Amino acid sequence: MMSLIEKDYIVVAQNASGRNMHVPVYRIRGNRPGPKVYIQSSIHGAEVQGNVVIYHLLQRLKSLAVCGEIVLVPNCNPVGTNIKAGEYTLGRFDPVNGTNWNRGYYYDENAVHAFADTVSPHTSDAEIRTRFRAFWAQAIADKLASPWGLGLAQQLNLKLQQLAVDADYVLDLHNGPVSTRHIYIPEYARDSAKLFNIPHCIFIPNVFAGALDEATFCPWWTLQDALSKKFSREIKLGVEAFTLEMGSQEVIDFAEGDVDATSILSYLTAKGAIQDTHIRPAQMIRRGVALKNYKTLYTQWGGMVEYLARPGEQISAGEPLARVLNIDELDNDRGSEVVPAPCDLIPILHFPSASVLSGTQLYKVFTEYFTITTDTE
Amino acid sequence: MMSLIEKDYIVVAQNASGRNMHVPVYRIRGNRPGPKVYIQSSIHGAEVQGNVVIYHLLQRLKSLAVCGEIVLVPNCNPVGTNIKAGEYTLGRFDPVNGTNWNRGYYYDENAVHAFADTVSPHTSDAEIRTRFRAFWAQAIADKLASPWGLGLAQQLNLKLQQLAVDADYVLDLHNGPVSTRHIYIPEYARDSAKLFNIPHCIFIPNVFAGALDEATFCPWWTLQDALSKKFSREIKLGVEAFTLEMGSQEVIDFAEGDVDATSILSYLTAKGAIQDTHIRPAQMIRRGVALKNYKTLYTQWGGMVEYLARPGEQISAGEPLARVLNIDELDNDRGSEVVPAPCDLIPILHFPSASVLSGTQLYKVFTEYFTITTDTE
Amino acid sequence: MMSLIEKDYIVVAQNASGRNMHVPVYRIRGNRPGPKVYIQSSIHGAEVQGNVVIYHLLQRLKSLAVCGEIVLVPNCNPVGTNIKAGEYTLGRFDPVNGTNWNRGYYYDENAVHAFADTVSPHTSDAEIRTRFRAFWAQAIADKLASPWGLGLAQQLNLKLQQLAVDADYVLDLHNGPVSTRHIYIPEYARDSAKLFNIPHCIFIPNVFAGALDEATFCPWWTLQDALSKKFSREIKLGVEAFTLEMGSQEVIDFAEGDVDATSILSYLTAKGAIQDTHIRPAQMIRRGVALKNYKTLYTQWGGMVEYLARPGEQISAGEPLARVLNIDELDNDRGSEVVPAPCDLIPILHFPSASVLSGTQLYKVFTEYFTITTDTE
Amino acid sequence: MMSLIEKDYIVVAQNASGRNMHVPVYRIRGNRPGPKVYIQSSIHGAEVQGNVVIYHLLQRLKSLAVCGEIVLVPNCNPVGTNIKAGEYTLGRFDPVNGTNWNRGYYYDENAVHAFADTVSPHTSDAEIRTRFRAFWAQAIADKLASPWGLGLAQQLNLKLQQLAVDADYVLDLHNGPVSTRHIYIPEYARDSAKLFNIPHCIFIPNVFAGALDEATFCPWWTLQDALSKKFSREIKLGVEAFTLEMGSQEVIDFAEGDVDATSILSYLTAKGAIQDTHIRPAQMIRRGVALKNYKTLYTQWGGMVEYLARPGEQISAGEPLARVLNIDELDNDRGSEVVPAPCDLIPILHFPSASVLSGTQLYKVFTEYFTITTDTE
């Protein structure tokens, strides 16, 4: 059995030469019914490993039994991918105005409640889903048609969101600076933590800050809660969305990408998007943290840093995180100084340059973390 | 009579060489009691005209009768001032992460309400002011002492805010890209529009988005409203804050700076911060607009642009705003195209480069604007 | 009579998305024989006025009698055009490695002499031209085929140079930072100074520093000199090349572009590339300078600058060029200081930002300049 | 025995705030006579490991017997160190104009010959050295005093060169992008290759391209050759200069820095700059290459790259160097492609980002390399 891959392009921007900038859209339509899956990568231009993951997913999906439809959009930000500043890619924000490329997706809590008001008790979940998708798609289209226009990042975000709006499962593939693999999971879907082979899981609340995962789960989560309350019964609409951080930026690794693809196929198998695979979640230690305990350690000083604690290691309070070189103090004891861990923690990522100013995100770390138990099934 | 100028420095950051970065603080203490005034410039590094305005203010205040205290902080962002990218100054946002340098000041609406709850009916306005300032100063100090640290822009903002926290009048001097002079005025202080010699006035609601003017007036406005409601009488606490946009970025002009200084001295005279001056607001046409009618016109296309409508001009619907060169269409009718004004408007600023991508802020314009009437005195 | 415009594209680079980057090539072939003309613009991405000049040239050439062939290449650097850093275009150098986009054209003095050795006394000038063009085209092709590859800027330059290699007249359209119009003229073609309507002319020697004009005239100049010496008679091969600086970068102006186009048409008419026009060089004052007297005034200090002397003005020694604001000295006499002209001069361009570090090119100026006399014809 | 470390600062620039920018100068004067050594690091801002090496050198020199004088200048470019563009340091070139920070040192071949003409046959080598140093120091001072000023990079370079001008041994500590350790050695000092513990040695000719090592050895080499020819005897003036590439940029590693320090102490011991150490060059395989065989492999395409060949590995012709992901071809065989080694080679460094345009320096490699034999002593 071979799944057919369709390829298409959408125009998301026009550059200063007046040339269209395209995003490739790969699409596999299964022979059997099933959920819709949307996977994109590289909204931040320097976060490129997700493109390799999509490469491997496409290779492997060719010979798997897809149910429903899987849409894969690698390199989804052709502007951010192509802004160099020195040898690196200035891909996290619009170089013109500093706008983070992952903060302009659409969400409006009031609109969800307005929709919820229109739902009557006897509406089926399937009908709710269908009607809400149409409602939400219209809201995005209206936003895109704003008479005075929209900023570049927002235009890009909304055009991508249109591809994802009717998906049941949305995966946004990112990278950290120098990072171990980790995943952001909405709390209502916390069981899905065990379906990916990702060792570090951050559980996040129903708060919108502009990212694609939030723009996907916030409306569904809010709608579920509103309807559950309205009808005094638990309603689950089944849409899930995640941000997966596939290691470090500025690097691709084909071998690791294949492992990452297996992890995603494990989730898709569990969700019924592919059938007849033997891919099951790995037996592994997964650690979780509530978002509020996922801390950023900022520097209070500037200097040159050796990062001693490696992403993924368990570090005890007081153990060294970093060693700082103070260039003006090489003749005395302050020439090099150690930054100790303020508490027990697991570093998840660190700043990618040895040169730091005060106020730099030195490390992001798990504190108060816990082990995610896997029930024997 | 000569006012004495004190000069001081505060450290706001440390660079990658481990060197402290200083902001100069000029201070004039009057012989007579009066309000406290805080004026800063260049929080956005390329917006430099305010520095010249402060230069002229200092020259002129030397021989004026200052009441109370005036604090002037030019070049308040030594990081943003010194980041070049090509010949221009990349001064609007932290080059590391895109954070706008004017979005990290402190405000917490709930804290204001918590404070309001503690105020009893017989407290004098003066005492309310004193206690609220101490309360707010503590909140800023607590924030700055966050155990995991803070980002560079926020550290900078909070250290500046500490200088401004007990001021009655706060002026934050900015520039637009290519811009006519304009000013942001909180609606509750709309009468002050007539005290500056600035032709374009934007009236803004009690909404916090991170800037210094908002961080100053939102707490006082919210407190006024809460107490007025609580005690069922109108309470005015008298604190005002404005963002003044002194023309175009990347340019200084000493002659215009002297005119700008006169405009500010006119306001300070009216507010009793200086005495015995003959400086009165100019007789001039001032135009106002509600923030919601201050529109940004974004491009839907990329290309090369000639900006035809000059900032400050009245433009009628359909008149040309810009002419676009389409480099791939020079052999046909689409080689150059006109962008017409979508409605009657006054352009206030436009993008500073001919080269634009889609989603660029081409113009910011007054629509539905009105003339601000000055009562005959 | 209508000239037909052909449009074509060449691929000059591939971006990080793997997409081809194209340069448009407009071509007008005359019905009558005549010289070949090559005109390009925007090799430096922020220098965009030349694109408008080419727009006007195309509009006007449509109804003129072209002799020979005119090739016009606007926006010839699609990489440099599309690198933003803040609102401006980082277009002068490759953002990856700092390579100036106008320094990688091909020239090899030894190759010219090797060719000259092969020319026998009875070869006609026409045959010399034909053979040398073929020889030079091959050398460029060989360079482009380097087995280990070439850097991006050099690849771009050589692909453009291939379009220009058989041209008799080559015009490279640039802009200065904030600049009056000026032109670089090889000394052997100094009479052509009077054929353009450009008020400031810099006469340059037979020295190659990597730019297109030099890469065009150095080989022909060297060949002329070598053959003149070899055959003891003056040989003129008639190829000319110029860099035209069409005012300030980051700005386009259609009205001025039409004036610029007239200036170029005046030159082309004089050279027989178009016929039956009434376009003659303007009666105007043209000032010239030897390259060694075209001086750059560097700063010895950092600070904020008002540029007092306008490009194109005659300034006497001691008159003010600039006024500097010293932010840490606003309480004393050093708060503002004047930079005087070190000698009689004409400023041609100045730095485009008020914020300067030490070692900044504050002004480039004509010194020891002279008036170019136009003989009555 | 303890050597005393003196610390001093020189001002090398002024920033846009008008603030001086300092470079620290650490100096150890031995109790015994001996040569002068000059060591600097981080002229390219992102190349920071040399700072750690200097840290370790200072720690260890404290308790060693220094003969003569050792000057150590870490972080010698405070401008380049502090220009961020995204999270990385834009440290290789001046962000204003693209000028490489390591290309503005002084050299003038004609001046050397002019000096050589003044030397009479009976002048001792010591006197030649003394007089030439004075002569050269004056030339640098004259250059720095240019009446119209100099560019920032050149000012910085010349002020550093003044510290190095009377040194016998000059070490300039750099890093490659992602790099193995290597060293540039002037051919006349090729025996010194065996005195450092650096596995990859590039032997360079007497050609000046602007760097500090060249600016140091070119005059001495040229003078040696001129005098040797003039007096028909071999004259060796004993000055040596090297560029050491201490691994990868953007990273510091204290442990490796100590190893690097040992390597330098081994050289200094051999040259008599320190006494009574047991530090001898390591027994190790050193590989050498002539500069002309140190090749740069440029890309002919753009895309995402996994760097398969590690710096320092021996690779045979045809073995894979890199794997490229073609984002628009994920549905076909061109989705991923291998770049094979064009010949037997050792990769020394590769580009530090997965995202490459055409014309990128993918790898720099040793070809036609050889093993440097160490004589049994």
Report pLDDT digits (tens) over A241-286: 999 999 999 999 999 999 999 999 999 999 999 998 899 999 999 9
Per-residue model confidence as pLDDT tens digits over A119-158: 999 999 999 999 999 999 999 999 999 999 999 999 999 9
What is the reported pLDDT for D363? 98
- Is there a contact between C92 and B86 if contact means CB atoms under 8 Å apart? yes
Rounded CA-CA distance D376/A291 in Å is 63
Instruction: List phi, psi (to 5°) of D348.
Output: -100, -35
Specify the DSSP class assigned to residue B93: B
- Provide, as residue numbers in chain D, all residues whose Cβ is less than 8 Å from the Cβ of B153: none
Distance from CA of B279 to the nearest CA of C (A): 23
Compute the count of residue pairs across chains C and D with CB atoms less than 8 Å apart: 137
* Contact list, A13 vs chain B (CB under 8 Å): 302, 357-359
Residue C3: pLDDT band by 50, 70, 90 thresholds?
A: confident
Q: In this model, does residue C1 exceed pLDDT 70? A: no
- Looking at the DSSP assignment, which residues form a beta bridge with residue B185? B203
| Calpha distance A274→A271 (Å, rounded) | 8
**What value does the CA radius of gyration of chain B take, rounded to a whole number of Å?**
22
CA distances from D103 to A233, B267, C88, D92, D208 (A): 73, 53, 27, 11, 9
* Across C34-49, average pLDDT: 98
Answer whether residue A376 shows pLDDT above 60: no
Q: 10 Å Cβ neighbour count for A310?
A: 11
SS3 of chain B: helix, strand, coil, percent, to 5: 30, 30, 40
The β-bridge partners of B349 are B179, B364
Size of interface B-D (CB pairs under 8 A): 43
The answer on pLDDT for B147 being more than 60 is yes
Interfacial residues of D (vs B; Cβ cutoff 8 Å): 15-17, 19, 22, 75, 78, 81-87, 89, 95-97
Nearest to A95 by CA among B122, D86, C14, B76: D86
Cβ count near C343 (within 10 Å): 15
Set of chain B residues whose Cβ sits within 8 Å of the Cβ of C54: 330
- Is the model's pLDDT at C15 over the cut of 80? yes
Average pLDDT, chain D: 96
pLDDT band with cut points at 50, 70 and 90 for residue B169? very high
- D152: nearest CA partner in chain C: C359
From chain A, the residues in CB contact with C85 under 8 A are 85, 95
Which of C7, C86, C323 lies closest to B85 in CB terms? C86
Touching subunits of D (3+ CB pairs, under 8 Å) are A, B, C
Q: How confident is the model at residue A117 (pLDDT cuts 50, 70, 90)?
A: very high
CA atoms within 13 A on the CB side of B5: 22
Q: Which residues of D touch C347 (CB under 8 A)?
A: none
Tokens of A278: 């033997």
Tokens of A285: 């230690």
Q: Are C182 and C202 in contact (CB under 8 A)?
A: yes
Put simply, the answer to whether B45 touches C355 (Cβ < 8 Å) is: yes
Q: Is the pLDDT of residue A374 over 50?
A: yes
Alpha helix ranges (H) inside A145-211: 152-164
Chains sharing 3 or more CB pairs under 8 A with chain A? B, C, D
Q: What does the alpha-carbon distance between residue A50 and residue A29 come to, in Å, rounded to a whole number?
A: 21
Q: Are residues B16 and D81, on separate chains, in Cβ contact within 8 Å?
A: yes
**What ipTM goes with this model?**
0.96
**Does the pLDDT of residue D77 top 60, yes or no?**
yes
Summarised one tens digit per residue, pLDDT across range A41-95 is 999 999 999 999 999 999 999 999 999 999 999 999 999 999 999 999 999 999 9
Distance between CA atoms of residues C45 and A72, nearest Å: 34
d(CA D109, CA D125): 20
D261/chain B closest Cα distance in angstroms: 21
Residue B277's pLDDT band (cuts 50, 70, 90): confident
What CA–CA distance (Å, rounded) separates B21 from C372?
A: 52
Distance (Å, whole) CA C171 – CA C261: 12
Interface of B with D (CB under 8 A): 15-17, 19, 22, 75, 78, 81-87, 89, 95-97
Residue D280 pairs with which residues in a beta bridge?
none
Which of A19, A78, A86 has its CB closest to that of C96?
A86
C92-107 pLDDT, tens digit per residue, is: 999 999 999 999 999 9
The answer on pLDDT for B377 being more than 50 is no
d(CA A42, CA D366): 34
Please provide the DSSP assignment of D53-78 as one string. HHHHHHHHHTTSEEEEEEEEE-S--T
Residue C377 has pLDDT above 90, yes or no: no
For C354, the closest of B251, B330, B352 (CB atoms) is B251
Distance CA C60, CA C258 (A): 9
What tens digit of pLDDT does each residue of B305-326 get? 999 999 999 999 999 999 999 9
The C-alpha torsion from C52 through C58 and C60 to C66, rounded to 10°, is: 140
Query: For an interface test with D, which of C84, C90, C148 has the most D Cβ atoms less than 10 Å from its Cβ?
Result: C148
Phi, psi dihedral angles at D365 (to 5 degrees): -140, 150
Of the candidates B287, B344, B294, B347, the one whose C-alpha atom is nearest the C-alpha of residue B319 is B344
Neighbours of chain C (3+ CB pairs under 8 A): A, B, D
First to last CA, chain A: 30
Q: Report the interhelical angle of D152-164 vs D212-231 (nearest 10°).
A: 50
* Rounded Cα distance, B354 and D13, in Å: 33
Measured in angstroms, the CA of D251 and the nearest CA of chain C are apart by: 19
Q: Do B96 and D81 touch (CB under 8 A)?
A: no
Average pLDDT along chain C:
96
Look at residue B276 in the predicted model and tell me its pLDDT: 82
Question: Given a contact as 3+ CB pairs under 8 Å, which chains touch B?
Answer: A, C, D
| pLDDT (0 to 100) of residue D377 | 42
Average pLDDT over residues A30-35: 95
Q: What integer is the mean pLDDT of A348-371? A: 98
Q: Cβ–Cβ of B78/D22 closer than 8 Å? A: no
Q: Do C306 and B88 touch (CB under 8 A)?
A: no
Dig out the tokens for C45 from the structure: 């991405």
Give residue C339's identity as a one-letter amino acid code. Answer: V
pLDDT tens digits along A293-341: 999 999 999 999 999 999 999 999 999 999 999 999 999 999 999 999 9
Amino acid code (one letter) for D70: I
Supply C167's token pair: 């041209």
Secondary structure element (H or E) that encloses residue D170, with its range: strand D169-176
A305 touches A324 (CB < 8 A): yes
The pLDDT of residue A377: 42
Q: Which residue of chain C comes nearest to D92, CA vs CA?
A: C97
CA dist A16 and B304 (Å) reads 7
Cα distances (angstroms) measured from residue B168 to each of B26, B43, B68, B171, C352: 17, 20, 10, 10, 37
Which chain A residue has the Cα nearest residue D333? A59
Average pLDDT for A349-377: 92
Give me the domains of chain A, ranges plus CATH numbers.
5-285 (3.40.630.10), 293-369 (2.40.50.100)
Q: Which of D50, D89, B85, B22 is nearest to A360 (CA)?
A: D89
Identify the CA nearest to A284 among candidates A184, A191, A194, A365: A194
Residues B358, B355: Cα–Cα separation, whole Å: 10
C-alpha to C-alpha distance for B91 and B101, rounded to whole angstroms: 8
Helices (H), A33-186: 49-61, 109-118, 125-144, 152-164
Answer whether A357 sits within 8 Å of B79, measured CB to CB. Answer: yes
Q: How far is the alpha carbon of D197 from chain C, nearest alpha carbon, in Å?
A: 30
Q: Do A83 and C81 touch (CB under 8 A)?
A: no
- In the predicted structure, residue C318 carries a pLDDT above the cut 50: yes
Q: What is the pLDDT of residues C333-372, one digit of tens each?
A: 999 999 999 999 999 999 999 999 999 999 999 999 999 9
Six-digit token string for C345: 């001069």
Asked if C336 and B87 come within 8 Å (Cβ–Cβ), the reply is no
Section D173-179 average pLDDT: 98
Contacts B–C by Cβ distance under 8 A: 144
Q: CA C193 to CA C185: how far, in whole Å?
A: 7
Average pLDDT over residues B25-50: 97
Compute the Cα dihedral for B107, B113, B114, B117 and give only its sign: positive
d(CA D181, CA D198): 6
pLDDT of residue B3: 81
Asked if pLDDT for residue D310 goes beyond 70, the answer is yes
Which residues of chain A make contact with B102, given a CB cutoff of 8 A?
A: none
B172-192 mean pLDDT: 97
User: Beta strand D361-366 with D346-350: parallel, antiparallel or unpaired?
Assistant: antiparallel
Q: What is the pLDDT of residue B375?
A: 60
pLDDT of residue C269: 97
* Per-residue model confidence as pLDDT tens digits over D297-306: 999 999 999 9
Quickly list H helices, D118-211.
125-144, 152-164
Q: Which residue has the tokens 């006025």?
A: C49
Size of interface A-B (CB pairs under 8 A): 137
Best mutation target, B28, B87, B92, to test chain C (most C CBs within 10 A) = B87
**pLDDT class of C210 with cuts at 50, 70, 90:** very high
Pairwise CB contact (< 8 Å): A96 & C87? yes
Asked if A20 and A68 count as a contact pair (C-beta separation under 8 A), the reply is no
Residue by residue, DSSP assigns B234-250 as ------EEEEEEEEETT
- Residue A21 C-alpha, separation from nearest chain C C-alpha, in angstroms: 10
Residues of D in contact with C157 (CB under 8 A): none
Residues 6+ apart with CB under 8 A from D159: D10, D12, D23, D144
Q: Is C358 in contact with C281 (CB distance < 8 Å)?
A: no
Percentage of chain B beyond pLDDT 70 is 99
Give the per-residue pLDDT at B1.
58
Rounded to a whole number, what is the largest CA-CA distance in chain B? 79
- The rounded distance, in Å, linking the Cα atoms of C328 and C344 is 32
Contacts of A82 in chain C (CB under 8 A): 15-17, 82
Q: In chain D, which residues have their Cβ closer than 8 Å to the Cβ of A325?
A: 51-52, 55, 252
Distance CA C38, CA C22 (A): 18
Q: Which percentage of chain D shows pLDDT scores above 70?
A: 99
